[in-house]
């Protein structure tokens, strides 16, 4: 029983990393680029709009981390 509980906890802990959004061409964190923001407070959000690799309009939301880097938290694509 303890093994099953430990396995369930490990699965839940690893799940967010498995479902994390991956940057696409046009994302500010694409190809492993690290953005360092100087004035944005940690925990705040900012947005980026661009046209994706297939010509679709992409709206991405980023969150500022405590170390002033940015993490991609959501993406919405719209047809033109």
Burial class (CB in 10 A: 0-12, 13-18, 19+), 60: buried
73 close to 16: Cβ distance less than 8 angstroms: no
At 65-79, the pLDDT tens digits run 999 999 999 999 987
Give the pair of three-digit tokens for residue 29: 């964190």
Q: What is the pLDDT along the chain (80 residues), one digit of tens a residue?
A: 666 665 555 555 555 555 678 899 999 989 988 888 989 999 999 999 999 988 999 999 999 999 999 999 999 998 76
Q: Does the pTM exceed 0.85?
A: no
| Domain spans of the chain, in order of start | 23-78
Number of helices (H), then strands (E), belonging to the chain: the values are: 1, 3
């Amino acid at each position: 029983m303890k093994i099953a509980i430990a396995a369930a906890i490990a699965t839940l802990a690893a799940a967010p990393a498995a479902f994390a959004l991956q940057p696409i061409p046009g994302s500010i964190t694409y190809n492993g680029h690290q953005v360092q923001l100087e004035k944005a407070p940690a925990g705040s959000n900012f947005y980026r709009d661009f046209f994706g690799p297939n010509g679709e309009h992409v709206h991405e939301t980023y969150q500022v981390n405590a170390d002033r880097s940015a993490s991609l938290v959501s993406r919405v694509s719209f047809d033109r």
